[in-house]
Amino acid sequence: MIVRSASVIALILASACRGSSEARGAGRGDSSPQPPAPSTQPDSRPAIVFLGTSLTAGYGLGDPALAYPALIQAKLDSAGRRFRVVNAGLSGESSAGALDRIEWLLSRDRVAVLVVETGANDGLRGQNPDSVRARIQSILDRARRTDPPPRLVIAGMEAIPNLGPEYVRRFRSIYPALAKANDAALIPFLLQGVAGVDSLNQEDGIHPTARGQRIVAENVWRVLERVTR
């Protein structure tokens, strides 16, 4: 399900252009004011990190600004919530891969909220639901050891029906059980209203279109709006 996720160049080019303009102006004795240099100060806002798969990375959209984390940033800005969204979606990743990455993600940012969207690829591969749950629990355990610990949000996923009703039931139960055990907010199903709707998914029938991503963003915002108050 989850197959694939410049301003530095622009800054360099802008600086080069401005530098050559100033040099030419100096030769002509031009004393007109120059525009201020772009700010290079790091963004000090606390981060909301979306640890996820290609659903989060925005696979197939061609522009990360169309993926739901970027849409959540716009909603936060409109609501006056001073947070910075970090899209840490990685296409093709399983819960084991997410567990491998969590240490680095938590160490590089001041993480205020951690949104965990993982497990869909495990479900596609028929991985044991108990093992998937244990790996996600390890991710949450590592997050709680951070000082201060981030608020936790878990995005629920569903298994494909052809794995059988018992597997689907066990897989679905992973997410509410983890949310309850870890006092985490739960997005009941990330793809609610999008999964299975042809017009809202790309040709693979799995990854949302830009329109589908807007619905996913609403699913996430219903929970995150409360978490970020």
The number of domains in the chain is: 1
37 in any annotated domain: no
Q: Is 69 a residue whose pLDDT tops 60?
A: yes
- The pLDDT assigned to 204 comes to 96
Q: Specify whether 207 is catalytic.
A: yes
Confidence of residue 26 (pLDDT cuts 50, 70, 90): very low
Residues 132-191 pLDDT 10s: 999 999 999 999 999 999 999 999 999 999 999 999 999 999 999 999 999 999 999 999
Number of C-beta neighbours around residue 150 at 10 A: 20
Nearest-angstrom CA–CA distance, 99 and 51: 10
87 in any annotated domain: yes
Closest residue by Cα to residue 90 from 77, 81, 99, 82: 99
Residues 208-227 pLDDT 10s: 999 999 999 999 999 999 99
Of 54, 91, 94, 95, the catalytic one is 54
Q: Which amino acid is at 208?
A: P
64 in any annotated domain: yes
Q: Tell me the pTM.
A: 0.82
- The pLDDT assigned to 116 comes to 98
Q: Specify whether 94 is catalytic.
A: no
- The pLDDT assigned to 10 comes to 36
186 in any annotated domain: yes
Closest residue by Cα to residue 95 from 67, 117, 76, 75: 117
Q: Which amino acid is at 136?
A: I
Q: Is 29 a residue whose pLDDT tops 70?
A: no
2 in any annotated domain: no
| Conformational region of residue 71, where left means phi above 0, alpha means psi within -120 to 50, and beta covers everything else | alpha
168 in any annotated domain: yes
Q: Domain containing 120: what range? A: 49-227
24 in any annotated domain: no
9 in any annotated domain: no
Average pLDDT of the chain, as a whole number: 88
CATH number of the domain to which 126 belongs: 3.40.50.1110
Chain centre distance of CA 84: 11
Nearest-angstrom CA–CA distance, 7 and 156: 34
- The pLDDT assigned to 39 comes to 55
- Mean pLDDT calculated for residue range 99-117: 97
